[in-house]
């Protein structure tokens, strides 16, 4: 399976897999049949992560083809990603903890040669555990792993290899085409027993053999138990701001990032004066980003910028990684901008980067307006606890017909 980073390719794949979102998906989705046989999964996640596809579109396709009950297994997977994003909005200190933990683990590697060697063996697929090594190579080469393989991999990393979970999460985040701050961080925490305190996921040889249909029939040496990781109590949850933005005719720039490659479909009151393009997946990790993930993110943003330029007929200004703040300020002066508008940025490196930039003198006088995605606005209020609190609301959310593409208003975020 290949992933062309364009909306055209995303829609083509959505149409191709629509007939398979029902019973066949529910029956076979847990099998990792190998990189050459991805016929049992949709493969839509890279396009969903970048929002070259809106979740509403994917859900609408599944329900229209198979009904809600017939496609419920597929629908659940779409909502799991949305759940993690919403949960992290309620608990943003988890992202900060992950960043601090990653820095600490990298410092450990710099000081501990044995740990550095074991870490390198894991990343390079040289541990001697055949399935793990194959998945490491597949991830680096293709930017993708089957969801079940991701769980096995994370479990082996934490409980068998006994490596810091933050290094594993970073390894995934650097290489996955669908690398998402919330889903990636929370999934690793779930495997390690942090997300649901005490509940871990243990990779077992018989389970791997069964769900790879014998590709990895014998996996000796795996950990026999998964003792949950521990951490200090988290800060109290706080609800994300999804209040409606009220505009007064400002001259603004539309800012496109890898968090939303459907930004031209936002509910904007009038066309922008200019389009700014911040194309920087390198902020995902201090170790850089793998080439497949970097190339996909870059081209996806460019695809969105081209569609926005065609729709609005205004100039497109690419921003550079090193000087995007100064270039944004310069664009604001030249185009007499009052504001810069973007999608409401979820917790993660892009949001941290944007907010840090807005704290400088160059941008502090320019209003930053973030438009809440309507799907996020429907889901996030139900994500402050466990997934099953959201699961109880999924049928209702779907029944309310929230699948028109971005019909809702947005949210304002002050600088």
Cα 28 to Cα 20: distance, rounded to the nearest angstrom: 10
Q: Hey, where are the domains in the chain?
A: 1-91+382-410, 95-211, 252-371
Is-same-fold flag (1-91+382-410; 95-211)?
Answer: no
3-state helix, strand, coil in the chain (%, to 5): 55, 5, 40
Fold (topology level) of 95-211: DNA Cyclobutane Dipyrimidine Photolyase, subunit A; domain 3 (1.10.579)
Beta-carbon contacts of 37 under 8 Å, excluding residues fewer than 6 positions away, are none
User: The whole model's pTM is what?
Assistant: 0.94
Task: Show pLDDT as tens, one digit a residue, over the chain (415 residues).
Answer: 889 999 999 999 999 999 999 999 999 999 999 999 999 999 999 999 999 999 999 999 999 999 999 999 999 999 999 999 999 999 999 999 999 999 999 999 999 999 999 999 999 999 999 999 999 999 999 999 999 999 999 999 999 999 999 999 999 999 999 999 999 999 999 999 999 988 999 999 999 999 999 999 999 999 999 999 999 999 999 999 888 777 777 899 999 999 999 999 998 989 999 999 998 777 899 999 999 999 999 999 999 999 999 999 999 999 998 899 999 999 999 999 999 999 999 999 999 999 999 998 789 889 999 998 889 999 999 999 999 999 999 999 988 754 444 433 333 333 3
> What's residue 401's pLDDT?
55
CATH number, domain 1-91+382-410, options 1.10.10.10, 3.40.50.2300, 1.25.40.80, 3.30.70.270: 1.25.40.80
Question: In 243-301, which ranges are E strands?
Answer: 252-256, 274-278
Fold (topology level) of 252-371: Rossmann fold (3.40.50)
**CB neighbourhood size of 217 (10 A):** 14
Q: Which helix (H) or strand (E) holds 339?
A: strand 339-343
- 157 DSSP 8-state letter: I
Count CA atoms closer than 13 A to 106's CA, side-chain side: 12
Beta-carbon contacts of 351 under 8 Å, excluding residues fewer than 6 positions away, are 259, 345
335 Ramachandran zone, left/alpha/beta (phi>0; psi -120 to 50): alpha
């Amino acid at each position: 399976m290949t992933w062309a980073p364009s909306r055209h390719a995303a829609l083509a794949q959505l149409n191709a897999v629509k007939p398979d979102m029902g019973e066949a998906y529910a029956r076979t989705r847990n099998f990792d049949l190998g990189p050459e046989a991805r016929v049992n999964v949709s493969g839509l996640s890279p396009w969903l992560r970048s929002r070259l596809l809106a979740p509403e579109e994917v859900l609408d396709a599944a329900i229209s083809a198979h009904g809600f009950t017939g496609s419920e297994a597929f629908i659940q997977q779409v909502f799991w990603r949305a759940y993690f994003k919403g949960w992290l909005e309620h608990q943003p200190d988890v992202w900060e903890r992950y960043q601090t933990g990653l820095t600490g683990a990298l410092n450990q590697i710099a000081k501990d040669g044995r740990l550095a060697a074991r870490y390198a063996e894991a990343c390079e697929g040289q541990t001697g555990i055949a399935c793990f090594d194959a998945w490491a190579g597949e991830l680096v080469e293709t930017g993708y792993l089957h969801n079940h393989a991701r769980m096995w991999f994370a479990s082996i990393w934490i409980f068998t290899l006994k490596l810091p979970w933050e290094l594993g999460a970073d390894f995934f985040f650097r290489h996955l085409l669908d690398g998402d701050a919330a889903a990636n961080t929370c999934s690793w925490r779930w495997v390690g027993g942090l997300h649901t305190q005490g509940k871990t996921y243990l990779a077992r040889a018989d389970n791997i053999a069964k769900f790879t249909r014998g590709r990895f029939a014998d996996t000796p040496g795996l950990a026999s138990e998964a003792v949950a990781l521990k951490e200090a109590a988290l800060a109290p949850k706080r609800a994300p701001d999804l209040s409606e933005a009220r505009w007064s005719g400002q001259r603004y720039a539309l800012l496109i990032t890898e968090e939303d490659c459907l930004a031209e479909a936002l509910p904007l009151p009038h066309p922008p004066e200019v389009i700014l393009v911040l194309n920087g997946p390198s902020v995902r990790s201090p170790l850089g980003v793998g080439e497949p993930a970097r190339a996909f993110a870059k081209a996806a943003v460019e695809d969105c910028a081209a569609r926005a330029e065609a729709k609005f007929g205004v100039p497109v200004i690419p921003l550079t990684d090193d000087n995007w703040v100064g270039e944004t300020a310069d664009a604001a002066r030249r185009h007499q901008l009052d504001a810069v508008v973007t999608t409401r940025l979820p917790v993660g490196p892009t949001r941290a980067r944007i907010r840090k930039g807005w704290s400088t003198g160059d941008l502090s006088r320019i209003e930053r307006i973030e438009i809440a995605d309507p799907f996020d606005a429907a889901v996030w209020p139900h994500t402050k606890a466990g997934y099953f609190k959201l699961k109880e609301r999924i049928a209702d959310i779907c029944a309310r017909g929230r699948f028109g593409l971005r019909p809702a208003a947005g949210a304002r975020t002050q600088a």
